[in-house]
Homo-oligomer: A and B are copies of this chain.
Amino acid sequence: MRYASRIEALSDKSLLNAFEVIETPDMISFSAGFPSPETYPLEAIRESFDHVMEESGKEALSYGSTSGYIRLREIIGNRLAEKFNLRYNLEEIIITSGSQQGLDMCGMMFINKGDVVLFENPSYLGAVNALRAHEATLAAVEIDDQGISMESLKAEVERYGDRIRMIYVNPDHQNPTGRSWSLERRKEFMTFIRDYDIPVVEDGAYAELSFGEELETPLAALDARGQVLYLGTFSKTFCPGLRVAWVCAPKTIMEKILILKNAADLSTSSIAQRQMAYYLDHYSLDNHIRGITAMYLERKDIMIQMLREHFPDSISYTNPKGGLFIWVSLPEGKDSRELLIRAQKRKVSFIPGTSFYPAADRHRELRLNFSNMDPDKIREGMKILGEITTEYLKE
Q: Given A3-B256, A10-B259, A109-B4, is A269 in contact with B266 using a C-beta cutoff of 8 Å?
A: no
**Chain B residues with Cβ under 8 A from A256's Cβ?**
3, 7, 10
Cα-based distance from A227 to B262 in the complex (angstroms):
27
Find residues 75-104 in chain A having any chain B CB closer than 8 Å to their own CB.
97-98, 100-101, 104
A197 touches B46 (CB 8 A): no
**Chain B residues with Cβ under 8 A from A108's Cβ?**
4, 6, 133
A391 on the B face (CB < 8 A): no
B37 touches A262 (CB 8 A): no
Cα-based distance from A40 to B270 in the complex (angstroms):
14
Residue of B nearest to A50 (CB): B46
Residue of B nearest to A227 (CB): B1
A19 touches B241 (CB 8 A): no
A42 touches B34 (CB 8 A): no
**Chain B residues with Cβ under 8 A from A66's Cβ?**
16, 19-20
Cα-based distance from A54 to B256 in the complex (angstroms):
41
Residue of B nearest to A264 (CB): B104
Q: Given A10-B259, A53-B45, A271-B241, is A4 in contact with B266 using a C-beta cutoff of 8 Å?
A: no
B4 touches A98 (CB 8 A): no
Q: How far is the CB of A21 from chain B (nearest CB, A)?
A: 10
**Chain B residues with Cβ under 8 A from A20's Cβ?**
65-67, 258
**Chain B residues with Cβ under 8 A from A34's Cβ?**
62-63
Q: Is chain A's interface secondary structure helix, strand, loop, or mixed overall?
A: helix
A265 touches B53 (CB 8 A): no
Q: Which of A124-132, A298-306, A311-319, A323-331 contacts B (4 or more CB under 8 A)?
A: A124-132
Q: How far is the CB of A81 from chain B (nearest CB, A)?
A: 24
A239 touches B4 (CB 8 A): no
A5 on the B face (CB < 8 A): yes
**Chain B residues with Cβ under 8 A from A3's Cβ?**
109-110, 256
Find residues 240-278 in chain A having any chain B CB closer than 8 Å to their own CB.
240-243, 252-253, 256, 258-260, 262-272
**Chain B residues with Cβ under 8 A from A5's Cβ?**
112
A241 touches B61 (CB 8 A): yes
Cα-based distance from A38 to B344 in the complex (angstroms):
52
A111 on the B face (CB < 8 A): yes
A16 touches B98 (CB 8 A): no
Cα-based distance from A272 to B273 in the complex (angstroms):
12
Cα-based distance from A272 to B243 in the complex (angstroms):
10
Residue of B nearest to A131 (CB): B263
Which one of B37, B97, B165, B239 lies within 8 Å of A2 (CB-CB)? B165
A57 on the B face (CB < 8 A): yes
**Chain B residues with Cβ under 8 A from A4's Cβ?**
108-112, 115, 134, 165
Which one of B40, B126, B227 lies within 8 Å of A266 (CB-CB)? B126
Cα-based distance from A312 to B280 in the complex (angstroms):
54
| Interface residues as binary, A30-54 with B (CB distance below 8 Å gives 1, 0 otherwise) | 0000100110101001100110011
A262 touches B2 (CB 8 A): no
Q: 5 new A-B pairs (CB below 8 Å) besides A50-B50, A63-B235?
A: A3-B109, A4-B112, A16-B259, A34-B63, A45-B57
Q: Can you give 26 contacting A-B residue pairs, CB < 8 Å?
A: A1-B197, A2-B197, A3-B109, A3-B256, A4-B108, A6-B108, A7-B109, A7-B259, A13-B259, A16-B259, A19-B66, A40-B58, A45-B61, A46-B53, A46-B57, A62-B241, A97-B269, A98-B265, A104-B263, A126-B266, A132-B263, A241-B270, A241-B271, A242-B271, A264-B264, A265-B265
The 9 closest A-B pairs by CB, nearest first: A37-B58, A61-B241, A61-B239, A241-B270, A133-B263, A42-B57, A46-B53, A101-B265, A243-B269
